């Protein structure tokens, strides 16, 4: 299992948190997603044998919550 925490400046409300957790959580191989409104951080755990970070990062961009580089 891999885990990564990223800054996502676009998080501004509870709806943002719910959207990120739901959308990213539905990706194959993603075990858990925790988004925080105050810190604007997202922590994601995933199975590297099923998916990789590039797929997750691209999905965050597609749902309009791109992580900071």
Against a cut of 0.85, is the pTM above it? yes
pLDDT digits (tens, 9 = 90+) for 45-57: 999 999 999 999 9
Task: Determine phi and psi for 30, rounding to 5 degrees.
Answer: -80, 120
What is the model's pLDDT at position 32? 98
Check if CATH label 3.90.850.10 holds for domain 2-62. Answer: no
For the chain, the structural domain boundaries read 2-62
* Chain position carrying tokens 């044998």: 49
d(CA 26, CA 63): 13
């Amino acid at each position: 299992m891999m885990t990564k925490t990223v800054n996502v400046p676009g998080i501004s409300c509870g709806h943002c948190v719910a959207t990120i957790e739901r959308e990213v959580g539905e990706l194959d191989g993603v075990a858990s997603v925790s988004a925080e409104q105050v810190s604007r951080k997202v922590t994601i755990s995933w199975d590297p044998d099923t998916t990789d970070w590039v797929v997750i990062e691209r999905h965050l961009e597609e749902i309009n919550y791109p992580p900071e580089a």
